[in-house]
Structure 1
Amino acid sequence: MLDKITFAKRYSKALYEVLEEQNQVEAGLSELLSIKQVFDDNSSLSRVLTDVSFPEDKKESLIKPLIDNSDVEFVKNLLKVLLGANKMDEFTLIVEEFERSYNEKNKIVHADALSVVPLSDEQKQKLTDVFKARVGANEVILDNKVDQSLIGGVILKSSNVIFDGSVKTKINNIKKLLLS
C-alpha cells in the first residue's frame, strides 16, 4: 500500500506528463486549482467521498458537477479514477504536487515577506525584483505577512531560502558579538 505522498506524487507526475504531451498543462492546472478550491471551501467533502458507509450514488451526484464542468478530459478522468478507487481524499495532495512540479519547471517561486507593517505595492515590487534575480526565478509570488516582533526590516522566506534583514536579528547578532 502506497503512502499518501507517494501516491500523490505518482498521480500528479503521470497527469503532468499526459497534459504536457497534449499542451494542456496550464488549462489542467487552472481546473485542478478551481476544483481544489471547492474541496478547500468544503472541508468535509473529501471525507464524505471516501466514507465507505456513504452511498455510492450520492458520492457520484456530489462529484458529477465537478466532472461535468471540467473542460480537460484528463482532469475528468482523474476525478473518476479517484472516486472509483475511493481515494478522493488524495485529490488536494495530487494538486499540490502538480502545482509544485509546474512551479519548478517554470521557475516560479512563492515567498513570504515578514514585516512590521504592511508593505506598499512599490516595496513589494522591489523585493520581488531583487528576490527574483537572487534566486534565478522567472516569477516570484510574494505574500506579505505582518510580524510586529521584528521591530523593523524584512525577512524573506521561500521553500529553501531565507534572507533576514530584520532589526531584531541585527540586534541579536550585535548582542552575541558583545557577549562573546
Structure 2
Amino acid sequence: MSVFKVASRYAKSLIDLSKEHNNLDEIKGDMEEIVSIIKSSTELQAVLKNPIIKADKKLAILNALFQGKVKPEIIGFFQIMVRKGRAELVYATAQEFIAEYNEVKGIVKAEVTSAAPLSDDNLQALRTAIAQQINKEVILSNKVDKSLIGGFVVRVGDKQVDASINGKLAKLERHFAGQI
C-alpha cells in the first residue's frame, strides 16, 4: 500500500478521534506546528525513516519535542504509529491531517503566480472571486515568477487559469504553428 494511502488512513482516524473529543481545530493547529518542525529538520526526518533506530528512541525524541506542546491525543496517536513500525509516516500523516481538515471544513488552497507580488487588496479581491466561484473558503498564496512577463496564473486544486502574457504568447505561437 502506498505511503499516501496509509498516511491518509491514519489522518482520517485522527480526524475522527478529534471530532469525538470536540477539539478538531486545536488538533489542526498542533498538526501545523508539527509539520513545520519536522519539515525544518532533515535530521528528524532521517531518524523517523531510519529502520535501524529503535522505536523507543524515536518515541523519546517525539516526546521530547512535542510533550506539553501539543494535545495528548496526538502524542498517544504518534506512540501507536511508532510502536506499529510506522514512524516514517508521522510527517506524512500530519500533512494529510491538515488536508483532511481542510476538506472537512470546506477550505481550498489556491495559488496565484504573478510576474510581481500582488497587493493585499488584489489578493483579497482574487480570494473573494475564487470563493464565490467554488463556494468554499479559500487560502490563497502568491508566488512570483518574472518569466510570466505580466498577468497571472491561478491554480485551484487541479484546475488552472492562465491569464499571463507569457501564456498568451505561447498560445499565439501554437496557433500560428498550426497554420503553417
SS of match in other structure, 1:44: helix
Measured after TM superposition, the shift of residue 120 of structure 1 is: 0.9
TM-score by length of 1: 0.87
SS of match in other structure, 2:94: helix
Q: Hey, what does 1:69 align to over in structure 2?
A: 68
Q: Hey, what does 2:155 align to over in structure 1?
A: 157
Q: Which moved more, 1:26-35 or 1:65-74?
A: 65-74
Q: Hey, what does 2:144 align to over in structure 1?
A: 146
SS of match in other structure, 1:79: helix
Q: Hey, what does 2:111 align to over in structure 1?
A: 112
TM-score by length of 2: 0.87
Q: 1:38 to 1:124 in 2, by over 3 A?
A: same
Cα distance between partner residues in 1 of 2:56 and 2:152: 53
Cα distance between partner residues in 2 of 1:22 and 1:119: 40
Cα distance between partner residues in 1 of 2:104 and 2:57: 38
Cα distance between partner residues in 2 of 1:175 and 1:27: 51
Cα distance between partner residues in 2 of 1:74 and 1:114: 38
SS of match in other structure, 1:110: strand
SS of match in other structure, 2:152: strand
Measured after TM superposition, the shift of residue 162 of structure 1 is: 1.0
The size of the alignment, in residue pairs, is 178
User: Which 5+ residue runs of structure 2 have no aligned equivalent?
Assistant: none
Residues 33-112 of structure 1: pairs in structure 2 closer than 5 A = 33-112=32-111
Q: Hey, what does 1:16 align to over in structure 2?
A: 15
Q: Hey, what does 2:25 align to over in structure 1?
A: 26
CA shift digits 1:106-146 (9 cap, x unpaired): 121111111111111111111111111112212x1111111
Please give the root-mean-square deviation of Cα atoms over the aligned residues, in Å: 2.0
Cα distance between partner residues in 2 of 1:122 and 1:106: 25
